[in-house]
């Protein structure tokens, strides 16, 4: 099946931005998406299951059952706000090929709804102590990059693994603009402070008025999900990454 899309509703949106919020370093993207969904009361409209997700089911003891999935929510902006597509999920793909297929499907769904702008977010791991997390950025083109630089983001240097990097890369094949915003984080736990900086940047760039007071709810919920599965850090994906550099410069 590779990727199977379940479309519950096809929303009519006006020049929407997709905000990517899958699990990654510091769970910054995951908390960002969850907070946006809660604050904006966004509506679930589609779901992706992929053969490259884990072959398992999970229950947390309260009767709720989870499966590896990626969900799409939409929000119709009010008073000059931009329409949003929010991608939330509990997993990325397990394989490189699966990541490409997943990103292709995410872009298919986005394009179908008229989306011409993808915003990926995440954490940028830092060994040193972080006072106020800085935002680093990279983009599909210099114009989009400049917009991020204008509000104070710094230019990212290095590799952006996974969906956050890949989506921006694949944008360039489809004439979609892509921006990646990464907040400095120790990456050791669901990082509320880093996420707050990302959400402030999103408020500025997309002309939104997301309330940041209740951010701790999304952080705690993400932490609860992690704890119920015995996971307390997101550092797992680091190992074996060396192997990916065979042939690559």
Shorter beta-carbon distance to its own copies: residue 13 or 34:
34
Q: Any contact of residue 88 with its own copies (CB under 8 A)?
A: no
CB of residue 78 to its own copies, shortest distance in Å: 31
Closer residue to its own copies (CB): 76 or 174: 174
Least distance from its own copies to the Cβ atom of residue 170, Å: 7
Interface mask toward its own copies for 161-200; x: CB under 8 A: xxx-xx-xxx-xx------x--------------------
- Distance between CA atoms of 87 and 165, rounded to whole angstroms? 15
Report the residue number, 34 or 40, with the smaller CB distance to its own copies: 34
Q: Which residue in the set 16, 21, 68, 133 belongs to the binding site for its own copies (CB under 8 A)? A: 68
Question: What H or E segment, with its residue span, contains residue 166?
Answer: helix 163-171
> Looking at beta carbons only, is 132 or 172 nearer to its own copies?
172
Q: At what angle do helices 142-150 and 192-206 cross, to 10 degrees?
A: 110
CB of 139 to its own copies, least distance (A): 7
Instruction: Concatenate the DSSP letters of all residues of 4-25 into one string.
Output: EEEES-----SS-EEEEE-S-G
Exposure letters 80-99 (e unless 16+ CB within 10 A, then b) = eebbbbbbbbbbbbeeeebb
Nearest CA among 219, 225, 221 for reference residue 199: 219
Q: Which of 43, 51, 203, 204 binds its own copies (CB under 8 A)?
A: 51
Q: Least distance (Å) from its own copies to the CB of residue 230?
A: 9
């Amino acid at each position: 099946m590779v990727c199977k899309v379940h479309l519950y509703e096809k929303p009519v949106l006006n020049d929407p931005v997709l905000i990517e919020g899958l699990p990654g370093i510091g769970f910054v993207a995951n908390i960002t998406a969850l907070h946006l969904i809660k604050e904006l009361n966004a509506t679930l409209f589609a779901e992706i299951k992929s053969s490259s997700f884990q072959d398992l089911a999970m229950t947390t003891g309260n009767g709720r059952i989870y499966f590896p999935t990626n969900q799409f929510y939409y929000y119709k902006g009010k008073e000059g706000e931009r329409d949003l597509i929010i991608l939330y999920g509990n997993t990325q793909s397990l394989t490189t090929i699966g990541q490409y297929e997943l990103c292709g499907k995410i872009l298919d769904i986005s394009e179908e709804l008229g989306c011409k702008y993808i915003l990926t977010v995440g954490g940028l791991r830092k060994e040193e102590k972080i006072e106020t997390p800085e935002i680093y950025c990279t983009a599909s083109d210099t114009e989009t990059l400049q917009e991020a630089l204008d509000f104070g983001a710094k230019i990212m240097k290095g590799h952006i693994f996974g969906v956050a990097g890949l989506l921006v890369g694949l944008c360039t094949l489809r004439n979609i603009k892509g921006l990646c915003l990464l907040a400095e984080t120790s990456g050791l736990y669901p990082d509320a402070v880093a996420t707050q900086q990302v959400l402030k940047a999103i408020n500025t760039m997309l002309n939104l008025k997301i309330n940041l007071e209740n951010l701790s709810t999304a952080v705690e919920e993400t932490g609860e999900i992690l704890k119920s599965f015995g996971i307390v850090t997101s550092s797992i994906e680091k190992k074996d990454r060396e192997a990916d550099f065979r042939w690559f410069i």
